[in-house]
Amino acid sequence: MNKLKNILNKRLGFMTLLIFFLWIKTIIAYYLDFSLGVSDPLQHLILIINPIATAVILLSIALYINKPKISYIVMGIIYVLESALLYGNILYYREFSDFLSFNTIAGVSKVSKGLGGSAANLGQAHDFIYGLDFIIIAILLLTHYIKIDDRPMRKLTAIATTLLGVFLFSFNLAIAESNRPQLLGRTFDRAYIVKYLGLNTFLAYDSIKTVQNNQVRSEAVGTDMDDVLSYINQNYAKPNQAYFGKAKGKNIIVIHLESFQQFLINDKVNGQEVTPFLNSLYNDKNTMSFDNFYHEVGQGKTSDAENMLETSLYGLPEGSLFSKLGSDNTFQAAPAILGQKEGYTSAVFHGNIGSFWNRDNVYKNMGYNYFFDSSYFNKTSDSSLEYGMKDKLMLSESAKYLEQLQQPFYAKFITVTNHYPFQLPDEDNDGFQAPDTSNSAVNNYFLTAHYLDNSLKEFFDYLKSSGIYDNSMIVLYGDHYGLSNSQNPELAPLLGVDANNWTDFNNSQMQKVPFMIHMKGLKGGINHTYGGEIDVLPTILHLAGINTKQYVQLGSDLLSKQHNQIVPFRNKNFITKNYTVLKDSDGNPEVFKNSTGEQINLDQNPDLKKKISKWQQYVNDKLKLSDTINNKNLLRFYTPTSFTPVDPKNQSYQNEIQKLVQTRNTLGLKSTSVYSQNNNKSTTTLYNTDAPELNGDRSVIDSWSSVLKKTNDSTK
């Protein structure tokens, strides 16, 4: 005990005690109060060590102060602020399932209002733990067990302590990046930064990004929209009158096919169709299928695809727009447009946590009425993979919520099972035999794609049997590539290509993803028009009978005769109807014929060289314009006629089931939900799935009454 007392009576010893208390409190909060999705031993290790480094760095500041009493006071102030930040995050997370950001702290009055004016309502029995350390420290000081160390502190010791903290942080960051590459570059989720680097690092990172964004935005003025509106006017593509309004009043169901590439359509492995249901849908007479449709995502990948689908604006050149700007930007997005123009109810169904890609904030800004994330589904030890619930389970359990939506509705389903590393438990495989290449990711990709296909067949069968199908337009699209360029040589033989002859042109062709519009009575067929994800929104809106001329959209209707068939990629490469243009390592264009893959010598074709230069300028200008709109948040300066910018403060995704019931009860006989139209009887009994996790138990699918009871009990 005397040895411990001697240590604590030194300034470094007292600082170590404070670090220990901060560390233990933070670890308790990580496991008891935050849902951080820790999935493997390395992540547990990172979680355990990440509070230490920044605590060492911050508390070491006090060591540079010569006067001992002042040094202890500063150390105490830092400790109190750190403890307040921790507990503030705990309370905020309990209410909003998110962490305190720079903007949230800066608007502390709004935080108090958001917490209902009384943090006591959010307190829990174990919260005494977070104040126990103050009692212990007070007793140690009052009993003089700990005394102030009056000896001067050597500057070298202070510097060494700070450097120790920097070293620990560098070590933490290195192992975090090994487990989650591009952690800070892509910013998947606020919870990811907390999980890997801690609350302090998250707040510092968020603060830096906020200041950078605010600086750019503060320089923006309303006249910056002049160039944008001029571009929109010049590049507007009129709707094709043969299709305009064909889906007016119909439900619009968007199915997000995770990592699904075009080559899977009609493909066979070992004589078996990989995706037999999607093949039948792709070739259905009621489906408009596009075979020259490309993803155009950047580092934001899935979130970039969603952004283009919802807003017809590109993602950012670096990182994710959802994560960097989505909480604050003004959008003219599909759910708001459809809701305000045609009375659509909007909802998203996703089997991952709501904060991933910052969706819980972005969807509010886009105008989504409902967001059913993983908290609304039955989660068990075998129901989820790394990125969320398995598709069969998510889709089947979504039925009880879908049938409650007021029609017409705009509903998006985000599948996740076909996500890298493409791991599928044996019990979820119906006997499909994967290829046998030297690359396990390539082999497994076909298994998860086949599973996704089975999931979609079950979902479509339900839509048809419940009657939803007859009144709906269903849109399916692949969000981005699944297999990377480095894996394509192993894939090549399966596509009938010699791996030794695989070129950059072949890589570019692998950026094709499916895009299908399916509706009963739609004049379908294979459409060879070149386009990309940026073009989805104007196409859907025109089919729904909404003219897009007044909205700021950089894509154009794929069915319009005026559609521009230049497809820009986020890295400024592009594809036209006849040519693929890629940059070499020196930034010079490499041009390939789409029909043959043959590379063209531009020096021998000066006319084409001029066209390429002109097209490249078009691509550069289009991407730059999108970045300007996003980074400067220019849409706050322009409101289309009959459009009201979304106020996210009016939206919350905490009580979705209650909202569904209240809406239905308020409307009464005027309710247009499938449930109401079925005489207040559920249609979920019509949903048939062979998901082995259910073991024949349909209770989680046919559980609307139990869901209501659970909701009512939790709100008493």
**Does 698 or 511 have the greater pLDDT score?**
511
Q: Say whether both 456 and 489 belong to one domain.
A: yes
Domain count, the chain: 2
pTM of the model: 0.78
**DSSP β-ladder status, 287-294 and 472-478:** unpaired
Give the relative orientation of helices 155-179 and 41-59 as an angle to the nearest 10 degrees: 160
Residues 534 and 594 in one domain: yes
Q: How confident is the model at residue 35, as a pLDDT? A: 77
Contact 580, 567 (CB under 8 A): no
- The residue segments making up the domain with residue 95 are 1-217
3-state secondary structure 484-537: CHHHHHHHHHHHCCCHHHCCHHHHHHCCECCEEEEECCCCCEEEEEEEEHHHHH
For the chain, the maximum distance between any two Cα atoms, rounded to a whole number of angstroms, is 90
Confirm whether 710 is domain-assigned: no
Q: Do residue 372 and residue 450 come from a single domain?
A: yes
User: Which of 188, 217, 246 marks a domain boundary?
Assistant: 217
What distance in Å separates the CA atoms of residue 313 and residue 307, rounded to the nearest whole number?
Answer: 7
Most confident range (mean pLDDT) of 90-94, 415-419, 582-586 is 415-419
Instruction: In whole angstroms, give the CA distance from residue 471 to residue 685.
Output: 20
Is position 610 within any domain?
A: yes
Q: How far apart are CA 369 and CA 598, in angstroms?
A: 49
Last residue of a domain, one of 217, 237, 265: 217
Q: What local confidence, expressed as pLDDT, does residue 614 receive?
A: 96
Q: Is 479 annotated as a binding residue?
A: yes
Determine the average pLDDT of the residues in 470-482.
Answer: 96
Question: Does residue 636 fall inside a structural domain?
Answer: yes
Q: Which residues contact 81 (CB under 8 A, 6 or more apart)?
A: none
Q: Are residues 160 and 304 in the same domain?
A: no
Is 133 annotated to bind ligand?
no
Please report whether residue 697 resides in a domain.
no
Amino acid 572 reads K
Last-in-domain residue among 217, 242, 268? 217
Which tokens hold the place of 547? Answer: 């003219």
Cα–Cα distance measured from residue 15 to residue 129, given in angstroms and rounded to the nearest whole number = 20
Q: Are residues 182 and 290 in the same domain?
A: no
Residues 170 and 28 placed together within one structural domain of the fold: yes
Q: Are residues 303 and 451 in the same domain?
A: yes
Residue 695 has pLDDT above 60, yes or no: yes
Whether 208 and 254 map to the same domain: the answer is no
Of 104, 302, 415, 548, the catalytic one is 302
Residue 113 has pLDDT above 90, yes or no: no
Same structural domain for residues 210 and 232? Answer: no
Q: Is 672 a catalytic residue?
A: no
Domain for residue 691, yes or no? no
Tell me: is residue 419 an annotated ligand-binding position: yes
User: What CATH number is attached to the domain comprising 600?
Assistant: 3.40.720.10
Contact predicate 346/338, CB 8 Å: yes
Task: For the chain, give percent helix, strand, coil, nearest 5.
Answer: 55, 10, 35
pLDDT at position 166, please?
96
Q: Are residues 175 and 257 in the same domain?
A: no
Quick one: pLDDT band at residue 486, thresholds 50, 70, 90? confident
In order, the DSSP letters of 302-331 are HHHHHHHHHHS----SSS-HHHHTTTT---
The answer on 507 and 478 residing in a single domain is yes
Q: Are residues 99 and 78 in the same domain?
A: yes
The percentage of residues in the chain with a pLDDT greater than 90, rounded to a whole number, is 69
Omega cis (within 30) before 408: yes
pLDDT in tens, 247-261: 999 999 999 999 999
For residue 618, is it within any domain?
A: yes
**How many Å apart are CA 635 and CA 651, to the nearest integer?**
20
- Residue 659 included in any domain: no
Identify whether 329 is part of a domain: yes
